[in-house]
Amino acid sequence: MTSKATPMFEARASGRSSLSTVLGLIHEHRAITRSEICSFTGLSRSTVAKLVTTLVNLGFASDTGAEQLDRVGRPSLGVDASKEVLAISVHPEVDYLEVKAVAFDGTIVHSEKLLYDDPIGQDQALEDMVQVIDSLVTQLETSDTPYRILGIGVIVPGQINSLTGIVRQAPNLQWSEFPIRDLLTERLSMPVFVANDASLGCKAEMAYGAAKGATDVVYMHGTSGIGGGVFMNGTELKGFRGYAAELGHMRISSGKELDYSGIQGTLEALVRRDDLEAVLGLKNVSDEDLEIALLNNRTPESTALARRQLEALGIATANLANIFNPEVFVLAGFLRFLYRFDQNYFHRVIKKHAIPASLEGMRIFVNELGANSMAIGASELVFQEAIADPTKFATPAKRNP
């Protein structure tokens, strides 16, 4: 029996030790049997037994000690990913700061959100992040469960220099040249990783959600703006400096509307979450509340706006289908329920503007991981480092008093 590795794991497979390979499988499947590990890796049962024992001792896995049926119905000892090894995700947005603790088995252990009436500056954002994370770490360290925090993944709606961890520009947040990785590392004394929000959401959906098993994927996420992620043949398209897939800034209209970067007629300029809130008489509500209002309280005004936004989204989707010919197209954030508002109209717009051949076999999904997709993606920034070298994370990281 063989398994098709997800692109997230496939990208890290080169040069990986047997210990890393087995840990990657445990993390990917969350629960797996020893015989399945043997089948996936080609390793002997005795070798797998030794590797599993090592990973249990390192705290990354738990050996159930009981026989389970594997995927072909054979009895085998089960192995579960740890519920106690954690990564912290931090997501600053225009109107909120959300912090989540994600376990190695994918469980969301803790979630906390601060709400803002107006965007806050870089300095205040840093202070709030440090305060919330410090408070969370204290709660986790004093709980009855022996949690172990490996690091922090920061989700940023903007362009990130992946080498330096500097936020080059996050227009919605009004951040520019912000060395957030180094500042947080200094203040929190644990590993910090920073990445673009939509890129992280795309990776999470490919590993565990709507695009699992696909290698050619276009992903669009709508929050205060619109971001994107693109994978071709299992490889993320990052561009020369790492700023590729800013899909929201694709110009699709000759109109004068400006997006958050000041560019006219783009997808982000025409498809705005704020406009949906305004037409429904709402402000700073959750995606869940906005979805309920949009789908259940259809007025002539909200219907007209949603149709205009769906037309713009459909044109953009058709353009991306023509360019990339993806196997899977994923819509996330508020685009998820905008799509649900009138799927048939959205598909008609796509067919009107796309080359027919580019649509053959293309499937359109909304994201399966919902509000947790980017947090799970951010946790992977930390967990993939641990998978690459599990022994480096053998003991809890010491934090300065």
* pLDDT digits 0-9 by tens, 244-290: 999 999 999 999 999 988 999 999 999 999 999 999 999 888 899 99
Predicted pLDDT at 66: 54
The correct CATH number of 7-81 out of 1.10.10.10, 3.50.40.10, 2.60.260.40, 3.40.1690.10 is 1.10.10.10
Exposure of 97 by Cβ count < 10 A (0-12 exposed, 13-18 middle, 19+ buried)? buried
What pLDDT is attached to residue 395? 58
The residue with greater pLDDT, 12 or 387, is 387
Per CATH, 7-81 and 210-367 having the same topology is answered no
> Of 323 and 14, which is predicted with more confidence?
323
Mean pLDDT of 124-132: 96
What band does 23 get if pLDDT is binned at 50, 70 and 90? very high
pLDDT at 70: 53
Tens of pLDDT, residues 133-192: 999 999 999 999 999 999 999 999 999 998 899 999 998 899 999 999 999 999 998 999
Q: Judge contact between 349 and 306, C-beta under 8 A.
A: no
Domain residue ranges in the chain = 7-81, 85-200+373-388, 210-367
Sort strands 108-115 and 363-366 into parallel, antiparallel or unpaired: unpaired
Q: Concatenated DSSP letters for 88-155?
A: EEEEE-SSEEEEEEEETTS-EEEEEEEE-SS---HHHHHHHHHHHHHHHHHHHHTSSS--EEEEEEEE
Greater confidence (321 vs 401) lies with 321
**Confidence at residue 111, expressed as pLDDT on a 0 to 100 scale:** 95
Helix (H) or strand (E) run with residue 328 in it: strand 328-333
Which pLDDT does position 229 carry in this prediction?
Answer: 95
pLDDT category, 399, cuts 50, 70, 90? very low
CB-neighbour burial class of residue 76 (10 A; exposed 0-12, middle 13-18, buried 19+): buried
Using the predicted structure, report yes or no on whether residue 14 has a pLDDT greater than 50.
Answer: no
Per residue in 25-49, pLDDT tens? 999 999 999 999 999 999 999 999 9
The mean pLDDT value of the chain amounts to 90
Q: Which residues does 136 contact at the CB level (< 8 Å), separation at least 6?
A: 88, 99, 101, 110, 112
Specify the amino acid at residue 262.
G
User: Could you tell me which of 356, 360, 378, 357 has the C-alpha nearest to residue 369?
Assistant: 378
- Structure confidence at residue 207 (pLDDT): 93
pLDDT value of residue 400: 42
Residue 157 CB contacts under 8 Å (≥ 6 apart), including other chains? 93, 170, 172, 173, 196, 197, 198, 223, 224, 225, 227
Give the pLDDT mean for 302-323: 98
The pLDDT score that the predictor gives to residue 71 is 56
State the average pLDDT over residues 219-242: 93
Question: pLDDT at position 68, please?
Answer: 57
Predicted local distance difference test score (pLDDT) of residue 393? 83
Query: What is the C-alpha radius of gyration for the chain, rounded to an integer number of angstroms?
Result: 22
pLDDT of residue 383: 97
Burial of 296 (0-12, 13-18, 19+ CB in 10 A): exposed
Q: Which CATH superfamily is domain 85-200+373-388 in?
A: ATPase, nucleotide binding domain (3.30.420.40)
Per DSSP, the chain holds a count of helices (H) and strands (E) of: 15, 16
pLDDT, tens digit, for every residue of 179-206?
Answer: 999 999 999 989 999 999 999 999 999 9
Secondary structure class of 162 (helix, strand, coil): coil
Residues 6+ apart with CB under 8 A from 85: 59, 60, 103, 104, 147, 148, 150, 386
Q: Which CATH class is domain 210-367?
A: alpha beta
Confidence (pLDDT) at 73: 57
**Whole-angstrom Cα distance, residue 302 to residue 142?**
48
